[in-house]
Amino acid sequence: MCYNIFMNRSVSLVLAVTTFLLVAITSTFAIAKSNVSPFNSYAPPAEYSQISEANAISNSRVGTFLEDILSYEPKLQFSYASWQPAINNTSESTRAKKVIIEELSKYSEQTLSRMGLKKVYLVQRLYVDGTFRSAMPEPQFDDALYFDVSSNYFESENGTYMRRTVHHELSHLIDYNSFGTYRPQDNDWYRCNPINHTYGNGGASMYSDVAYAHAAHPKPGFITGYATSGVDEDRAEVFAHYMTNRNYLYELAQNDASLSCKVARSEQLLSRL
């Protein structure tokens, strides 16, 4: 009798432990599966996406600030650029607005003000210096960022391209407002470059070689091919990846002293804002 009770209790205990382990394994698998990013290697890690989404929804102060500075009809005109006003409440403009607010919500209202950002314009068919562009900074007259709402841009690279572009263009705005030029003579940055490196002919020159422009970490010291075209684009590309895919950037920097130096310099500059 005692033996049977002991056996029954043992069987019950084994079944209970087995059930617990199965539940734990299933739960762990479900959690792991839910955290798998649907994006490619350029996708923001989940932690940044969640922070971004939370800020866009719950941080009413910066959200209100961004709503106030966002417009669909730029008033100024420039000889080097043209566009058409984006139409509010279309699927394209709604998605563009959501992405831009999510990304800019990674900064506080005070930080955005210190960066000098005063306007964000959503447009269509943005044409700059003879080329259709996804975005452009304009720090001289309006302290503004212009974004083309086209799906061609916002669907590129599974939606991650324009998320980086928001910070890329913001970097240009910061440099101009901080140093009075898009290409500051930042010796601490130049010292990070590989020995004897010479930058290319500027970002515009890369439009004839799109594949290389989008190449990821094509050579030591440079996060993309586009970054090799000029110090302004190099700084903007590192900054953009830092704000959207920091883990990926850190991983590359572990085995790339030049890139690691640039990440450290970017963090130093960002800490001053």
pLDDT above 70: percentage of residues in the chain: 78
Mean pLDDT across the stretch 72-83?
Answer: 93
- Taking the C-alpha atoms of residue 156 and residue 163, their distance in angstroms, rounded to an integer, is 10
pLDDT in tens, 223-269: 999 999 999 999 999 999 999 999 999 999 999 999 999 999 999 99
Q: CA separation (Å) from 16 to 11, 13, 19, 29?
A: 9, 5, 5, 20
Closest CA to 52 of 38, 41, 66, 40: 66
Q: Which amino acid is at 227?
A: A
Closest CA to 139 of 242, 238, 232: 232
More confident residue, 34 or 136: 136
Radius of gyration of the chain measured on its C-alpha atoms: 24
The reported pLDDT for the residue numbered 59 is 54
More confident residue, 62 or 61: 62
Which residue matches tokens 């009798």? 1
Q: Could you tell me the pTM of the whole model?
A: 0.78
The reported pLDDT for the residue numbered 260 is 97
Q: Which residues pair with 128 in a beta bridge?
A: 81, 131
With beta carbons less than 8 A apart as the criterion, state whether 44 and 160 touch.
yes
Helix axes 231-244, 160-179, angle to 10 degrees: 130
Please report which helix (H) or strand (E) contains residue 135, including its range: strand 135-138
The reported pLDDT for the residue numbered 253 is 97
Is 209 a residue whose pLDDT tops 90? no
> Under 8 Å CB-to-CB from 86, ≥6 apart: which residues?
72, 92, 93, 96, 122, 123, 124, 149
- Taking the C-alpha atoms of residue 235 and residue 263, their distance in angstroms, rounded to an integer, is 9
pLDDT in tens, 94-125: 999 999 999 999 999 999 999 999 999 999 99
More confident residue, 272 or 191: 191
The reported pLDDT for the residue numbered 208 is 77
pLDDT above 90: percentage of residues in the chain: 68
Closest CA to 96 of 46, 165, 43: 165
The reported pLDDT for the residue numbered 96 is 96
Mean pLDDT across the stretch 12-17?
Answer: 41
The reported pLDDT for the residue numbered 211 is 87
Please report which helix (H) or strand (E) contains residue 179, including its range: helix 160-179
Q: Which of 9-23, 218-232, 258-272 has the lowest mean pLDDT?
A: 9-23
Phi and psi at 121, nearest 5°, equal -115, 130
How confident is residue 6, by pLDDT bands cut at 50, 70 and 90?
Answer: very low
